[in-house]
Structure formats: structure tokens, C-alpha cells
């Protein structure tokens, strides 16, 4: 694990998220203590900042918005809006082409101008999220379209802890 320099860390009492893009792992921290760890799936096209790349951006971000509180597990989102559908394997078979965004969305915003904020590298404008995915999608391997996919139970835990403003560090 690469550790950010001490000056970059959030205050000791504050929660923050680390997403290791090499290990395909999310760690939730409370100051300097890991309080939750889970497998994720990031961009199949690797790590990168550019719009349209299908890559997952690196660097410091924060949770810009939390979407989906109170909705059912497996609620389906398109364009950050609940479609009224709840994912089932049968619905998945009816629409095999869809990149399923399920349960909750944590929308990220970059903090590093020219790296993940502004211009063609802006994570928020690229719609980079942490979101749920169907249970048959692999975890621990890069397979997404650029977002960070999590299992529903892990996403629900993270959603409750990583409120808007929570720092998120993505790194290789």
C-alpha cells in the first residue's frame, strides 16, 4: 500500500476512503485505523483520467453527492435517477447490454486541478461513482466502465459512513 504524506491525511477523527486500483480493494479508514475492507471492480481499461477512456481516475477526490437513500437494495439507476425498477436476474436477462448501476451512488469529484478536476480530466463530469452491481459481476478484478463497483452489502455500509464531503483517495 502506498501511504499519502501525513499533510494529505484527513483529521484523525474523520472517515475517509482509500481505493487501491492495483489490489482492487476499498479500505474505509477512521483516521489511521482501517474499519472496513472489501473487494471492488474498477475500470477494465485501467487507470486514467481522460474523458471517454473507460478508465478509473486516480488521486484525491471527495464524495460530491449520495444518491438513493431509502430505496430498496438493487434499485436501478440511469442518469443518477431511480428508474422504478429493482434488479432481478430475469431483468438482467431482458437487458444484457445494460451496465447496471444498483442500490446507491456515491458521486465523486476530483480535488486535483489538471489531474482529476477541470477540462477533459474532470471526474465529476465523467460521472465517476461508487455503485452497486449485480451479484454475478466479478469483484477483485478490473471489469467496470470506469466507475468503482461494489457488492451491495459493502456499498450500503460505505454509503452510511462516506457522507458528502468524505475524502476518497484512488491510487495504483
Q: What is the per-residue pLDDT across 26-39, written as a single tens digit (0 to 9) for each?
A: 999 998 999 999 99
Residue 5 has pLDDT above 60, yes or no: no
For residue 164, tell me if it sits in a domain.
Answer: yes
pLDDT in tens, 88-101: 999 999 999 999 99
Cβ-proximal residues to 66 (8 Å cutoff; 6+ apart), any chain = 104, 105, 106, 107, 159, 162, 163, 164
What burial class does residue 2 get, using C-beta atoms within 10 Å of its C-beta: 0-12 exposed, 13-18 middle, 19+ buried?
A: exposed
Instruction: Report how far residue 150's alpha carbon sits from residue 37's, in angstroms, rounded to the nearest whole number.
Output: 11
What band does 10 get if pLDDT is binned at 50, 70 and 90?
low
Q: Where are the alpha helices (DSSP H) in the chain?
A: 89-94, 152-161
Average pLDDT, the chain: 94
Instruction: Report how far residue 23's alpha carbon sits from residue 138's, in angstroms, rounded to the nearest whole number.
Output: 14
Residue 2 has pLDDT above 50, yes or no: no
**Among 119, 168, 152, CA closest to 40:** 152
For residue 30, tell me if it sits in a domain.
Answer: yes
Helix, strand or coil, per DSSP, at residue 155 = helix
CA 160 to chain centre: 14
Instruction: Report how far residue 73's alpha carbon sits from residue 102's, in angstroms, rounded to the nearest whole number.
Output: 8
For residue 76, tell me if it sits in a domain.
Answer: yes
For residue 65, tell me if it sits in a domain.
Answer: yes
Q: What pLDDT shows up at residue 4?
A: 53
Give the domain extent around 54.
16-171
For residue 124, tell me if it sits in a domain.
Answer: yes
pLDDT in tens, 50-87: 999 999 999 999 999 999 999 999 999 999 999 999 99
**Strand 129-132 relative to strand 15-20, pairing:** unpaired
Q: What pLDDT shows up at residue 13?
A: 78
For residue 42, tell me if it sits in a domain.
Answer: yes
CB 152 within 8 A of CB 136: no
Quote the number of domains for the chain. Answer: 1
Q: What pLDDT shows up at residue 120?
A: 96
Residue 12 has pLDDT above 90, yes or no: no
Q: Global pTM? A: 0.93
- Average pLDDT for residues 139-148, to the nearest whole number? 97
The proportion of the chain whose per-residue pLDDT surpasses 70, expressed as a percent, equals 93
Domain of residue 35, CATH code:
2.40.440.10
Greater pLDDT, 155 or 10: 155
Instruction: Report how far residue 41's alpha carbon sits from residue 144's, in angstroms, rounded to the nearest whole number.
Output: 6
What band does 138 get if pLDDT is binned at 50, 70 and 90?
very high
Amino acid at each position: 500500500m502506498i501511504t499519502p504524506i501525513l499533510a494529505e491525511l484527513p483529521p484523525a477523527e474523520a472517515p475517509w476512503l482509500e481505493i487501491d486500483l492495483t489490489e482492487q480493494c476499498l479500505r474505509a479508514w477512521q483516521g489511521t485505523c482501517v474499519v472496513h475492507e472489501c473487494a471492488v471492480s474498477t475500470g477494465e481499461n485501467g487507470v486514467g483520467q481522460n474523458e471517454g477512456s473507460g478508465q478509473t481516475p486516480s488521486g484525491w477526490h471527495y464524495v460530491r453527492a449520495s444518491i438513493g437513500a431509502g430505496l430498496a437494495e438493487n434499485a436501478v439507476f440511469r442518469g443518477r435517477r431511480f428508474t422504478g425498477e429493482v434488479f432481478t436476474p430475469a431483468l438482467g436477462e431482458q437487458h444484457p447490454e445494460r451496465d447496471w448501476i444498483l442500490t446507491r451512488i456515491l458521486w465523486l469529484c476530483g480535488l486535483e486541478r489538471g489531474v482529476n478536476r477541470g477540462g477533459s480530466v474532470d471526474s465529476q463530469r465523467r460521472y465517476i461513482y461508487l455503485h452497486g452491481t449485480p451479484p454475478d459481476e466479478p469483484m477483485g478484478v478490473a471489469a467496470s466502465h470506469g466507475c468503482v463497483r461494489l457488492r451491495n452489502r459493502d456499498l450500503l455500509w460505505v454509503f452510511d459512513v462516506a457522507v458528502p464531503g468524505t475524502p476518497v483517495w484512488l491510487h495504483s
